[in-house]
A and B are shown apart, each in its own frame.
Chain A
């Protein structure tokens, strides 16, 4: 591999194993959901294979970089890879934000009879559109009353009086500060200040964990006290799917940052001018943050 300037790796067992692990994971998941006893085993074995391969893959990429095999051009490839990956994630969230927008502003009013030439009132008599949707069309049809608590007790903005006890506000503050702390960490490593880097990165991870704990707290509250679940109609659906996927991404982001922190703490990785692993994780973190700001407004403030 010496003649060229660009490092083209030799044969590698990683990709085929990664494919196999990924396949086993989803194959197991599908079996599991369809009620097969073997499902969970396949799923967990597959997940284990996949995680192991990723671990190996990243270790190899790191050691290649440390061995000086990565030219500036190859590093640019990694940078572009991460940027376009984040763009794909943006589009994934866009699908769910778009669904929420369509449901709230178009579908529900139509379902309640707005617009021309719509026969919905015949299908779903007594249904009125509202948001958060308390009484689903099905419940309206059967004359059932709302089973969950009203808007003032739901996740949405509680009014200025209840502001300080409003969990989503705290979550917003936490995530936004974590974006600042991860930026401090970045500046620190660029100034070759290892100690400060470790502290700020550690604080960021901690904030991520606190966010996740509060989010779990919120879900428990919703399920146990508000009666708001995944099954309680389109409001529960959009609420849990949007915040849930965001939470999953926070989990991944926290894990990435935690690994970066361990790399710095235990192995002394990252140099002022060579810290792409950390940078990639921090971009991901900023992205997760931006998504949250979107969520805060459309799901909570104007929810």
Chain B
């Protein structure tokens, strides 16, 4: 296994190397992040002022839909899979992923799937315009013809996710170095083990629901058609049975990343390791029984409203355990504030704000006011942007020196952080107010009374966009001309990944290390 990578571009097409595949996932996700970001900026440009300014309402709807789909399935999920590919084998002392060829297959499905999804923008009738949650009958009876391509794109992305998750589970359960017991695994590995389980459990349900749509559209079945005895609400149940665990798929690996970073820069071991593991498992299990908190206003028996309200609130207990543990880890630590740490601290604070607005939404009677307003948009962007996206960013700055062997420029990293931090708060914090005042989501025009908050949000959005250009610059500059990094990179960090050279050799741990 002494040899390095193959020559030429076919290296990337034919590779079986977890580091190659991890890099491809990360670059793909970065590209999708910019594509989805462009869609978002179209939305914010239109909403800069009330009245129809720039785009047709139907195109506006296509933008909200494609933004959500591309960010969820194209940016966040592949980024986490990319990080898992790079880091899980390094963290557990494995020579590679358990099933290396299937690993490459999981990746290469994605460019095809997203090419197909993006091509719908140029089709007759336009791209999907029914929201990323694609509720029937908007997505069936009233959908543009491109919905068929959307359905099949979801199918093959789902296949990619399931295979990726199977690979990660098999790697973690089967490939750990001797001595690496389950309760010695870094938390990133633990959170990914549980995330992979969630993926295998719910991606097939997503496949099921789009299959039902396909049958309703093209083969005359009546799953979601009351005229035939079906029920559009059935769509929402099946979708959210997937959808709620899906939001945890987008946050559990983030928990793992910040649990790796905070101890390094607080120079203290993680507080409450075991409770972190159990909290993650508890969140994952609970996430299967809360789905209808997305459907409080749809019409449910009162017993259902109450059950889903209490079950949802229960999730904040293990989530709170985590937040307290991160804070306790920092408490009395000798902290320094390098870029990964800044992103991680912002994660803890801002994710908690998102958790609080989630709690507000979980109160069923209150949700009748908040539902489908910008308050919900504020909530989920607070958990996804400073949550998922910041953790990914933190992880990139933290491990980039290990990946490419060069250190990023700290000043540039801090500029990126502050631009992103300010940009995101300016964008999303006002949405709480416009939402509480009653501004509906997914609407290209709005009442004059919301004008000020929207203008502020739009300015913030372009600032946040600019911050990500700085990010791209930083990553490229580091790879091309960064200063050499040491093997340890940071001040005495914990974990096997720091025991190998920087950049990590093409093959690592061909002989498993001994873990004490």
In-complex Cβ contact of A237 among B10, B16, B109, B230 (8 A): B230
Q: Is B511 an interface residue (CB 8 A)?
A: yes
Contact across chains for B108 and A95 when beta carbons are under 8 A apart: no
Q: Is B173 an interface residue (CB 8 A)?
A: yes
Instruction: Encode B221-250 as 1/0 by CB contact (under 8 A) with A.
Output: 111001111110110011001000000000
Q: Is B466 an interface residue (CB 8 A)?
A: no
Give chain B residues whose Cβ lies under 8 Å from the Cβ of A6.
94-96, 175
Q: Is B493 an interface residue (CB 8 A)?
A: no
Contact across chains for B149 and A30 when beta carbons are under 8 A apart: yes
Contact across chains for B109 and A34 when beta carbons are under 8 A apart: no
Instruction: Encode A117-129 as 1/0 by CB contact (under 8 A) with B.
Output: 0100001100000
Give chain A residues whose Cβ lies under 8 Å from the Cβ of B227.
136-138, 141
Bound CA span A235–B94, Å? 51
Q: Is B301 an interface residue (CB 8 A)?
A: yes
Contact across chains for A12 and B204 when beta carbons are under 8 A apart: no
Contact across chains for A231 and B102 when beta carbons are under 8 A apart: no
* Minimum Cβ distance to chain A for residue B157 (Å): 11
B residues 38-83 in Cβ contact with A at 8 Å = none
The number of chain B residues with a CB under 8 A from chain A is 80
Q: Is A255 an interface residue (CB 8 A)?
A: no
Instruction: Encode B85-122 as 1/0 by CB contact (under 8 A) with A.
Output: 00000000011101111101101110011001000000
User: Which residue on B lies nearest to A9, using beta carbons?
Assistant: B16
Q: Is A96 an interface residue (CB 8 A)?
A: yes
Q: Is B31 an interface residue (CB 8 A)?
A: no
User: Which residue on B lies nearest to A120, using beta carbons?
Assistant: B226
Bound CA span A276–B233, Å? 43
> Which stretch from B211-219, B356-364, B453-461, B494-502 is at the chain A interface?
B211-219
Give chain A residues whose Cβ lies under 8 Å from the Cβ of B222.
136, 233-234, 237
Q: Is A3 an interface residue (CB 8 A)?
A: yes
Bound CA span A11–B17, Å? 8
The number of chain A residues with a CB under 8 A from chain B is 71
Q: Is B393 an interface residue (CB 8 A)?
A: no
Dominant secondary structure of chain B at its interface with chain A:
helix
Bound CA span A1–B507, Å? 10
- Residue of A103, A115, A235, A237 with most chain B CB atoms under a 10 A cut-off: A237
In-complex Cβ contact of A107 among B203, B207, B230 (8 A): B230
In-complex Cβ contact of B148 among A2, A14, A30 (8 A): A30
Contact across chains for A15 and B102 when beta carbons are under 8 A apart: yes
Give chain A residues whose Cβ lies under 8 Å from the Cβ of B223.
99, 234, 237
Bound CA span A76–B170, Å? 8
Contact across chains for A111 and B174 when beta carbons are under 8 A apart: no
In-complex Cβ contact of B228 among A27, A233, A241 (8 A): A233
Seen from chain B, the residues whose Cβ lies within 8 Å of a Cβ on chain A are 1-2, 6, 10-11, 13-17, 94-96, 98-102, 104-105, 107-109, 112-113, 116, 145, 148-149, 151-153, 155-156, 159, 162, 165-167, 169-171, 173-175, 200-205, 207-209, 212, 214-215, 218-223, 226-231, 233-234, 237-238, 241, 299, 301, 507, 510-512
Seen from chain A, the residues whose Cβ lies within 8 Å of a Cβ on chain B are 1-6, 8-16, 18-20, 22-23, 26-27, 29-30, 33-34, 57, 73-74, 76-78, 80-81, 84-85, 87-89, 91-92, 94-96, 98-99, 102-103, 107-108, 110-111, 115-116, 118, 123-124, 133, 136-138, 141, 230-231, 233-237, 240-241
- Can you add 8 more A-B contacts, CB < 8 Å, to A80-B174, A141-B227? A18-B108, A27-B116, A33-B218, A77-B174, A81-B102, A137-B229, A231-B219, A241-B215
7 A-B residue contacts at CB 8 Å? A13-B13, A14-B105, A15-B108, A27-B152, A88-B200, A137-B228, A236-B221
Task: Report the 7 A-B pairs with minimum CB-CB distance, sorted nearest first.
Answer: A95-B208, A234-B229, A4-B510, A15-B105, A138-B227, A23-B112, A92-B204
